[in-house]
């Protein structure tokens, strides 16, 4: 399974010949929000995920298989056992660092690591 949740949603939407705007209308959310989901910038709530699954005629469980984020429980446990993670996350929020900026930072760091 090499594709992400957003990529799967887009692929399935295109397979059933449904535009982004049509899906947004059926799911009762904005096309911009769905576009962000397809691009991996945002993730749907459980309610939106269920609505998307229904419109795309796939199970919610199928969609969840493509969601590669760590479960919230794992993140909480990590923050509890390693307080530095909690401090790091609070620092990101305090400094108003956007998710996009953080992703770019990690991509650059990964690229530098690969060159060594």
Q: Within this chain, do residues 15 and 53 fall inside the same structural domain, yes or no? A: yes
Q: Within this chain, do residues 9 and 45 fall inside the same structural domain, yes or no? A: yes
Q: Within this chain, do residues 59 and 77 fall inside the same structural domain, yes or no? A: no
Q: Within this chain, do residues 39 and 90 fall inside the same structural domain, yes or no? A: no
- Residue that terminates a domain, selected from 65, 82, 107: 65
Residues 34-43: tens digit of each pLDDT: 999 999 889 9
- Residue that terminates a domain, selected from 26, 42, 65: 65
Predicted structure pTM score: 0.63
Q: Within this chain, do residues 54 and 21 fall inside the same structural domain, yes or no? A: yes
Place 2 in a pLDDT band, splitting at 50, 70 and 90.
confident
Helix (H, G, I), strand (E, B) or coil at 57: coil
Average pLDDT over residues 70-80: 75
Residues 87-101: tens digit of each pLDDT: 887 888 888 888 788
Q: Categorise residue 50: left if φ over 0, alpha if ψ from -120 to 50, beta otherwise.
A: alpha
Place 114 in a pLDDT band, splitting at 50, 70 and 90.
confident
Q: Which domain holds residue 13?
A: 5-65
How many separate domains does the chain show? 2
> CA 74, CA 105: separation in Å to the nearest integer?
23
């Amino acid at each position: 399974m090499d594709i992400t949740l957003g990529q799967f949603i887009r692929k399935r939407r295109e397979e059933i010949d449904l535009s982004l705007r049509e899906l947004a209308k059926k799911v009762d959310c904005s096309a911009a929000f769905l576009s962000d989901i397809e691009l991996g910038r945002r993730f749907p709530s459980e309610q939106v995920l269920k609505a998307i699954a229904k419109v795309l005629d796939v199970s919610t469980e199928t969609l969840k298989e493509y969601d590669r984020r760590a479960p919230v429980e794992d993140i909480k446990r990590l923050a509890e056992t390693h307080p530095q993670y909690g401090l790091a996350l609070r620092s990101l929020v305090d400094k108003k660092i956007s998710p996009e900026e953080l992703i770019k930072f990690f991509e650059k760091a990964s690229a530098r690591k690969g060159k060594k």
